[in-house]
Amino acid sequence: MAPPLLTLQDIALTFGATPLLTSAGLSVSAGDRVCLVGRNGSGKSTLLRIAAGLVQPDAGRRFAQPGATIRYLPQEPDFAGFSTTLTYVEAGLGDAAAADKYRAAYLLEQLGLTGQEDPQRLSGGEARRTALARVLAPEPDILLLDEPTNHLDLPGIEWLEQELAAMRSGIVLISHDRRLLERISRATVWLDRGVTRVLDEGFASFEGWRDQVLEQEELERHKLGRKIVVEEDWLRYGVTARRKRNQKRLADLHALRKRHKERRAAVGKVKLEAAEAELSGRLVAVAENVSKAYDDRAVVRDFSARVIRGDRVGIVGRNGAGKTTLLNLLTGKLAPDSGELKLGTNLSEVELDQRRETLDPALTLAQTLTGGSGDTVTVNGQNRHVVGYMKDFLFAPEQANTPVGVLSGGERGRLTLARAFATPSNLMVLDEPTNDLDLETLELLQERLAEYSGTVLLVSHDRDFLDRVVTSVIATEGDGRWTEYAGGYTDMLAQRGPAVRSAVTVPAAKPRAAREEPAAKPAIRKMSFKDKHALETLPGRITELEKEIGRLNGVLSDGDLYTRRPAKFAEVTKALEAAQAALTGAEEQWLALEMLREELEAG
């Protein structure tokens, strides 16, 4: 076994009165692949900065082999004194500059930069990619990476995987990207309550091992007769319990994907659910040949899709491909240049604000959730005490009066989730929701989405998250063209084939089934005159019903109607129920006929 190039022993560090690290350690040799995991706020980034020599611990020992090159990926790079991104990256080469003067330009190109950008005018994503190029350029002995996939698109993440796998450096990696951790790591360091534990296996084996450690801890506590505080027990072991429940939810997701695929394949045989109160109409959004361009550049070209209530749709593609534009088109925030977009009825949208820009740092956690009044939160029509609701999102009761401004990034992320899921909605829009979330919070988000009865539109670069959440994926094919695939991200890759990594890809051709002589050729259904007439007239009928439902809702918005005219209230309520049922029936009939028309036109 190679001697360690970098060692941390018995590291202790206290911020204020709270110990962050009490007995933390780390050992890295040449070629090691170590992932550092733990909850947000556990001290992972701080431990990595200590390893880089940027933070001095209160106690403990740091040793680095003399002459060993160590590079650390900073969260906020300092570009002072550099005129271009290329000069910034070249400065990180050190003694390697003469040996490989082209590597800096190569890395910048692979990360979507020219090298001539002004470092003072970079966006957050460009600054992050420039810093990543700088630490990769010299191929150091030790590479310390803190969330390297932030602001990278899917092709960029897959490129980074290949680059890291080919390097001889010892790598310590902090990331929320489970797929990256599973593919890169060969050892796992778990930082929990200030102490590190080491598993000599990659992240794929970590969660089962962690659960065993926690269960053994609990057993030992009971043997010693020590009482476990209920809140601490829930916070610490809740993730384990949720994972067991999520096994069933994962099976439910697979079944939902199968139904989604069959719905699109077996035209005319769709099983449609009965309308439910408080839900949106059966059709959430229908796009027909929608196009959008900016400065003569087609971002979306002739795109058609139907989003049906309960769908969980993921949108993937390179940075700049137009994912957010497509998302805004599907939600009606952006008007298409051509084509037609029709939104469903009774839509109540909530957007997950992962930038946390709407959080007031001066308010307490409880005030943020309750709106500043009372101590209850209304969730799904039921009042819940704010402390109980906080516990659902891994907050301790004593944090209720904590100002938002002092919460960690992960805690603010969980607060954003809590507020979003407390808002009544039937359409949830998530644009890069996984950025800066730790693994436990990602599991929490997956669980909440599994329980969500509405429709989800999601833009994400997290492959594992997509596989665990979505029922279909809309992927860019280049030149403004987008294609929808049934299933998750892995299913999309299988359907597209190896061309997925190209800038412009073409879906793999479906193999023709072997020709067999059937005993009897099945009859092909044709559209009757009645079907054609219904297809033409149903849109108008749907519009009329939507107007009628709006009118009836307006009548019922009178809060005194029931008291003043109970008979009128009952009459309008009955009429509203009938109109909603008629609308659902009309939407379902139009959907079945439209899918039949497309099948017949396709031959």
Give the chain's count of helices (H) and strands (E): 18, 20
pLDDT tens digits along 248-264: 655 666 666 666 655 44
Each residue's pLDDT tens digit, 498-552: 544 443 333 333 333 333 333 444 444 567 767 777 778 888 888 888 888 888 8
Query: What SS3 state is found at 225?
Result: coil
Instruction: Please write the tens of the pLDDT for every residue from 173-191.
Output: 999 889 999 999 999 999 9
pLDDT in the model for residue 23: 92
Is it the case that residue 55 has pLDDT exceeding 60? Answer: yes
* CA pair distance 45, 75, nearest whole angstrom: 9
Mean of pLDDT values over 559-582? 78
pLDDT value at residue 499: 47
CATH of 283-501, one of 3.40.630.30, 2.60.40.420, 3.30.1370.100, 3.40.50.300: 3.40.50.300
pLDDT one-digit tens code per residue, 409-441 = 677 878 888 888 888 888 999 888 887 677 777
| pLDDT at residue 354, as a whole number | 59
pLDDT value for 602: 60
Model confidence at 16: pLDDT above 70: no
Reported as a pLDDT band with limits 50, 70 and 90, residue 205 is very high
pLDDT value at residue 500: 45
* Superfamily, domain 6-212: P-loop containing nucleotide triphosphate hydrolases (3.40.50.300)
CATH top-level class of 524-601? mainly alpha
pLDDT of residue 263: 47
Query: Could you tell me if 180 and 343 are in contact, meaning their C-beta atoms sit under 8 angstroms apart?
Result: no
Higher pLDDT, 123 or 356: 123
219 token code pair:
């057993």
Max mean pLDDT among 170-179, 218-227, 312-321, 552-561 falls in 170-179
How is the chain split into domains, by residue range?
A: 6-212, 283-501, 524-601
The pLDDT of residue 581 is 75
One-letter identity of residue 493? L
> What does pTM read for this prediction?
0.65
Per-residue pLDDT at 554: 80
Higher pLDDT, 410 or 79: 79
Looking at residue 224, its pLDDT comes to 52
* Burial class, 186, CB count within 10 angstroms (exposed 0-12 / middle 13-18 / buried 19+): middle
Return the minimum-mean-pLDDT range out of 52-56, 60-64, 133-137, 560-564: 560-564
270 pLDDT above the threshold of 50: no
Secondary structure of 325-362 in HEC code, one letter for each residue: HHHHHHCCCCCCCEEEEEECCCCCEEEECCCCCCCCCC
In this prediction, residue 234 carries a pLDDT of 47
Q: By CB neighbour count within 10 A (0-12 exposed, 13-18 middle, 19+ buried), where does 207 fall?
A: middle
Segment 442-491, tens digit of pLDDT: 887 888 788 788 899 999 888 888 988 899 999 998 889 999 998 888 88
Return d(Cα 246, Cα 465) in angstroms, integer.
13
Residue 524: what pLDDT?
A: 47
CA separation for the pair 168, 175 (Å, rounded): 20
**In this structure, what DSSP letter does residue 500 have?**
G
Higher local confidence (pLDDT), 589 or 598 = 589
Q: How many CA atoms lie within 13 A of 453 on its CB side?
A: 14
Do the domains at 6-212 and 283-501 have one common CATH topology?
yes
- Which residue's entry shows tokens 């929990």? 192
Q: Higher-confidence residue: 389 or 8? A: 8
Q: Is the pLDDT of residue 169 over 90?
A: yes
Output the pLDDT for position 357.
65
pLDDT recorded at residue 518: 39
Cβ count near 208 (within 10 Å): 12
Whole-angstrom distance, CA of residue 36 vs CA of residue 254: 31
The whole-number pLDDT of residue 456 equals 93
| Ramachandran quadrant class, 278 (left: phi over 0; alpha: psi -120 to 50; beta: rest) | left
Residue 190 has a pLDDT of: 94
Q: At residue 345, does pLDDT exceed 90? A: no
Residue 156, amino acid? G
Mean pLDDT of the chain: 79
